[in-house]
């Protein structure tokens, strides 16, 4: 049994702080990290499943953080994208074009923790659009 099926979906957008987007676009990296990205990641970590909604603005804002000068903000944004993709599953597929290019553009970063976070986000995005049956062993398809 999949734990995702047993989880109650949470409304992510209604749990965002009022000043989330202004903090996410703040010129101070600490505001971006501590007042926007960390609270969002904590909200996303509270459940495995999220209510379907229009996440276009949120996903676009997180994709915009891929170009952040502070690697901690990049890592947190990538982790948020990963959680969203895993929590929305197929409903996240419509946002793949918004986030894939910025993530791929940041893969040139040499720091391993950044590469790991970006790779995990790309894996989650691929899983949201994949029709590959996960319950079958890969050797069947070779």
Cβ atoms of 66 and 74 within 8 Å: the answer is: yes
Q: Which tens digits make up the pLDDT trace of 96-108?
A: 999 999 999 999 9
Q: Are 45 and 39 in contact (CB under 8 A)?
A: no
- pLDDT tens column, 125-137: 999 987 554 554 4
pTM for this prediction: 0.89
**What is the per-residue pLDDT across 4-34, written as a single tens digit (0 to 9) for each?**
888 899 999 999 999 999 999 999 999 999 9
Taking only the tens place, the pLDDT of each residue in 69-119 is 999 999 999 999 999 999 999 999 999 999 999 999 999 989 999 999 999
Q: How far apart are CA 83 and CA 109, in angstroms?
A: 21
Q: Is 40 helix (H, G, I), strand (E, B) or coil?
A: helix
- If phi > 0 it is left, if psi is from -120 to 50 it is alpha, else beta; for residue 89 that is left
């Amino acid at each position: 049994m999949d734990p995702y099926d047993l989880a109650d979906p949470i409304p992510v957008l209604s749990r965002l702080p009022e000043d989330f987007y202004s903090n996410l676009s703040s010129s101070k990296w600490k505001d971006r990290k501590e007042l926007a990205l960390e609270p969002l990641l904590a909200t996303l970590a509270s459940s495995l499943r999220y209510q379907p909604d229009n996440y276009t603005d949120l996903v676009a804002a997180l994709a915009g953080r891929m170009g952040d000068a502070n690697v901690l903000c990049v890592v947190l944004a990538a982790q948020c994208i990963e959680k969203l993709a895993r929590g929305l599953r197929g409903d996240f597929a419509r946002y793949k074009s918004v986030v894939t290019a910025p993530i791929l553009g940041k893969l040139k970063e040499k720091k391993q923790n950044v590469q790991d976070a970006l790779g995990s986000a790309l894996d989650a995005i691929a899983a949201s659009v994949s029709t590959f049956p996960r319950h079958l062993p890969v050797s069947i398809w070779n």
